[in-house]
Amino acid sequence: MTGEFPARADRSGDGLFAGTVTVASTDRTVAGVTTPAAEVYVTAGGEVVAVPLAQDLVGRMIRLGPGERQVFPAAGSLRHCATGEALPAGRYEVFAVVVVNSGDGQAVVVGGPWPLEVG
């Protein structure tokens, strides 16, 4: 997985930031059902401080043959998961997760960290 996220995000706005992640299959076909968007986590000092946004979306089929890629939107929250308050200004890391559920199990693709400066 590769990702593209902003280098900076403003916590005074709507409390969100957005980017994209690209999932690639290297040597085998990955097929199944996934959500249309990646789940995005924000961490500080190795601790999760913001969890993925709720996704009330219908799953969609995905099929990636060897060498194929799929781009997913990836929006994240700038609100602390325990308090709901805006994250303090500072440096954070962004991680993304895409889960593909298939008849023979689950493929979990994780990417990151990508740096994020919150101001």
Q: Are strands 16-24 and 8-9 parallel, antiparallel or unpaired?
A: unpaired
Question: Which domain does 6 fall in, by range?
Answer: 2-118
What CATH number corresponds to the domain at position 98?
2.60.40
Distance CA 102, CA 53 (A): 23
* Number of domains the chain is built from: 1
Handedness of CA 35, 41, 47, 50 (dihedral sign): negative
Paired with 42 in beta bridges are: 50, 94
Q: What pLDDT, on a 0 to 100 scale, did the predictor assign at position 30?
A: 87
Paired with 2 in beta bridges are: 22
Q: pLDDT 10s digit of each residue in the chain, 119 long? A: 999 999 999 988 899 999 999 999 888 888 999 999 999 999 999 999 999 999 887 889 999 999 999 999 999 999 999 999 999 999 999 999 999 998 787 888 999 999 999 99
Distance CA 62, CA 82 (A): 33
